């Protein structure tokens, strides 16, 4: 391992250790704040790479006249217009120093009438997907799937007016087993237990992964390779 190749590992080690130590040393604590800000700043630089990837991929399709290259023209066009409108604040009534989404600007129009509807339109697909997923997945197949099916069924029932009706015949003594009371119980006992255990498990996994990265066992950046 050459010295130059060892630099990234050293950077990871130093940065991570400094940020961990900063949690316990008050004069260093502002660093944690500053460094998470640095992340966002560098992520903003990275947009150049993302843009290059997007334009490069579609430009190649256009150059090769690959099938459906017309869509690539649309994509690059939409990208270019939005980028110009936003960076130059075209038609912005508050000028170059104002809010980029100020009403009346070209960018605000695009956000409101192109970005918004397309985004929510795609989001709305989920209503259909959830129905077909429920139809396909919730079957009495084995023990696990049955438990999941029954819970989901109860929850769905409880979200409608039927929730109060199906168990209203129960005597007052068994009030606790009425659906409107069972659902909060599910949310506050088994669901709480399950989500808490997942949280703890994820925390343990995340701590271990952080350690692996700090020690250089995991290298999601280019390490010693060529």
Partner 1 sequence: MALALALLAPPAAASMPIAHSTPSPPGANVVTVPAAVAPPTEVRASDRPNDNGGAVILDWQLSADDRPQHGLVTGYEILRAPAPAGPYRLLGRVEPGTSHFVDIFAGRGKPFYYQVAALAGTTRGPARPVGPAVATAQWFNHRRLNMLAFAVLLAAAILFGIRSARRGALPRLRELPGVGAVEAAIALARERNRPVLFITGSEDLNDIQTLAGLSVLKEVAGRTAAEDVPLRVPHMHSLVMTAAGDTLEEGRAAAGKPAPVDPDENFYLCDEQFGLVAGAGGIMYRERPAACFYFGSFYAEALALGEIGQTVGAVQIAGTGQASQLPFLLATCDHVLIGEELFAASALLSRDPAQLGCVRGQDLVKLLAIGLIGLGCLLATLAQVTGWGPLIPAWDTLRSLFRTG
Partner 2 sequence: MVQLGRWAVMNVTGRRCIYLGMLLAVTVPMIWRISFKEHPTPMVRDIFATIEKLPKNARVLFVCDFDPASAAETRPMEDAFARHLCLRGVGLYCLTLWPTGPIEIDRTIRDVIALEFPSYRYGQNFVNLGYMSGNEAVVAVALTNFKKAFSTDVHNISTHDASRLPMMVPIEDLASFDLIVDVSAGYPGLNEWIPYGAIPAGVPIVGGSVAVGSPEIFPYIPEQCGGILVGVKGAAEYEQLLLEQYPQLDRPECRIALERMGPQTVAHLMIIGLILLGNGIHLWRRHKEAAA
Partner 3 sequence: MTRKLILAIVCLALLLGLLIRASSGAMPNPFLDYQNLGLWVGAALTLFALSFLYGDNPFFRFTEHVFVGVASAYWMVQGFWGTLVPKLLANLAPEIAVSLFRMDFPVGVPWTRRLLYALPLLMGGLLLTRLHPRARRAGSWTLAFLVGITAGLRLIAFLDAGFMTQIQNSVVSLVAVSRSGFDLGKSLDAILLTGGVICCLLYFFFSRRESGPVALAGRFGLAVLMVTFGASFGFSVMGRVAVLVGRMEFLLHDWLGII
Q: Which 201-220 residues touch partner 1, going by CB under 8 A?
A: 201-202, 204-213, 215, 217-220
Contact in structure between 209 and 218 (CB atoms under 8 Å): yes
State how far the Cα of 7 lies from the Cα of 16, in Å rounded to an integer.
Answer: 14
State yes or no: residue 134 binds partner 1 (CB under 8 A). yes
Give, in order, the Cα–Cα distances in Å from 72 to each of 2, 20, 68. Answer: 43, 46, 7
Minimum Å gap between C-beta 197 and partner 3 is: 3
- String of contacts with partner 2 for each residue 62-101, x by CB under 8 A: -----------------------------------x-x-x
> d(Cα 162, Cα 159) in Å, to the nearest integer?
8
* Residue range at the interface with partner 1 (CB under 8 A); choices 48-56, 96-104, 105-113, 174-182: 48-56
d(C-alpha 139, C-alpha 83), whole Å? 48
The region, left, alpha or beta by phi > 0 then psi within -120 to 50, assigned to residue 142 is: beta
Residues engaged in binding partner 2 (CB under 8 A): 32-33, 36-37, 40, 97, 99, 101, 103, 111-112, 116, 119-120, 123, 127-128, 130-132, 134-142, 144-145, 148-149, 152-153, 156-157, 159-162, 164, 180, 184, 187-188, 191-192, 195-196, 199
């Amino acid at each position: 391992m050459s010295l130059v190749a060892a630099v990234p590992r050293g950077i990871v080690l130093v940065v991570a250790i400094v940020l961990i130590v900063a949690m316990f040393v008050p004069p260093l604590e502002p660093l944690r704040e500053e460094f998470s800000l640095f992340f966002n700043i560098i992520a903003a630089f990275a947009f150049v790479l993302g843009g290059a990837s997007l334009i490069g991929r579609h430009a190649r399709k256009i150059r090769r006249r690959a099938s459906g290259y017309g869509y690539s023209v649309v994509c690059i066009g939409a990208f270019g217009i939005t980028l110009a409108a936003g960076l130059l604040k075209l038609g912005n009534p508050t000028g170059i120093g104002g809010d980029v989404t100020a009403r009346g600007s070209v960018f605000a129009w695009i956000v409101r009438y192109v970005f918004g509807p397309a985004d929510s339109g795609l989001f709305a697909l989920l209503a259909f997907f959830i129905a077909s997923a429920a139809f396909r997945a919730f079957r009495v197949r084995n023990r696990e799937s049955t438990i999941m099916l029954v819970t989901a069924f109860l929850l769905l029932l409880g979200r409608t007016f039927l929730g109060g009706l199906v168990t209203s015949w129960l005597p007052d003594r068994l009030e606790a087993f009425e659906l409107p009371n069972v659902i909060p119980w599910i949310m506050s006992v088994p669901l709480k237990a399950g989500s808490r255990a997942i949280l703890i498990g994820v925390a343990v996994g995340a701590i271990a992964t952080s350690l692996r990265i700090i020690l250089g066992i995991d290298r999601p950046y280019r390490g010693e390779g060529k």
